[in-house]
Amino acid sequence: MGYRIVVAGATGNVGREMLNILEERQFPVDELAVLASRRSLGTEVSFGDKTLKTQDIEQFDFSGWDIALFAIGSDATKKYAPLAAAANCVVIDNSSLYRYDPDVPLIVPECNADEIHGYSKKNIIANPNCSTAQMVVALKPLHDRATIKRVVVSTYQSVSGSGKSGMDELWDQTKAVYNPVNDVPPKTYPKEIAFNVIPHIDVFMEDGSTKEEWKMVAETKKIIDPKIKVTATCVRVPVFVGHSEAINIEFEDFLDEDEARDILRQSPGIMVIDKREDGGYVTPKECVGDFATFISRVRQDSTLDNGLNLWCVSDNLRKGAALNAVQIAETLGREVLKKG
């Protein structure tokens, strides 16, 4: 006996990836409903060898469904997640709406799977921000060994983090560089993204940081340890898929780089590719379509008593969004619902 699963936002980048991953990981699905907004009604999506037509989320009855994977943005989630939760359908939400709610667990299964039991307060579980998800997978096993005091992270985030509009804008602007007759002014981003980098993701806050940077701070504290100090600079780069991060870590205890590599190699969800030679590291292009979070360039920071540097790369549509949501569903099924 399997699960009755809903995917809301099934026509978007993340929603489609959720369907792919449910199939790839052979999640025990008895019945599947794919939902979209009225403007996308009837659009067909693929699930394995099946083709499904989207249903109108406004008219959908969540009663009798087990789990709903939401990839519809905060505004729509605010309207529909409580309806699903009230119908006893557990919502796993990819938006930022519930991440900082103390009554909603924020889960990365490799880090804090035990928190899954807190879902029952609201019948909702939050999926973290894409840039946070891959970072905490790398930080948690190191924190367990040597206790992290401070993290300084600079991100190199792909345009797929902005959805289809970001990917289209990079594609169209790149073509326009080679055909100057076609002018493609920025719409999704405040400046041209083609052949450029933009140190600005989400809105600016009063202290000069952006909301994306604030998210990384708040979510790392909630997922791993509220005592960890985090400072982030988040940058959009002209890459279609795959987020990269340069992470500097200060520990309370000394941690040798060789031991750190060994710890990471043995940790779930991580692949260490770290050869000190040309090409002996992973780039975002190479991580696309993979489940793993890749770690490279592990090295001691000689400016700190207990410091390490590392390079972290992952497919943001997978571990940063759809994969983590499906892993949460797997954990919920294994630990709580116990049907599949």
123-160 tens-digit pLDDT: 999 999 999 999 999 999 999 999 999 999 999 999 99
pLDDT of 257 > 90? The answer is yes
In angstroms, the CA 238 to CA 141 distance is 31
Nearest to 336 by CA among 113, 128, 137, 77: 113
pLDDT score, position 1 = 78
In angstroms, the CA 321 to CA 173 distance is 26
Query: Of 150-154, 177-181, 310-314, which gets the smallest average pLDDT?
Result: 177-181
- Which one from 89, 111, 243, 312 is the annotated catalytic residue? 243
pLDDT score, position 168 = 97
pLDDT tens profile 194-208:
999 999 999 999 999
Mean pLDDT of 67-89: 97
Q: Phi and psi for 72 in degrees, rounded to 5?
A: -125, 10
Q: Is 111 a catalytic residue?
A: no
Q: Phi and psi for 152 in degrees, rounded to 5?
A: -115, 115
Q: Per the structure block, which two tokens stand in for 154?
A: 């600079």
Q: Is 89 a catalytic residue?
A: no
- Which one from 89, 130, 234, 312 is the annotated catalytic residue? 130
**CA 173 from centroid of its chain's CA atoms:** 26
Mean pLDDT of 60-70: 98
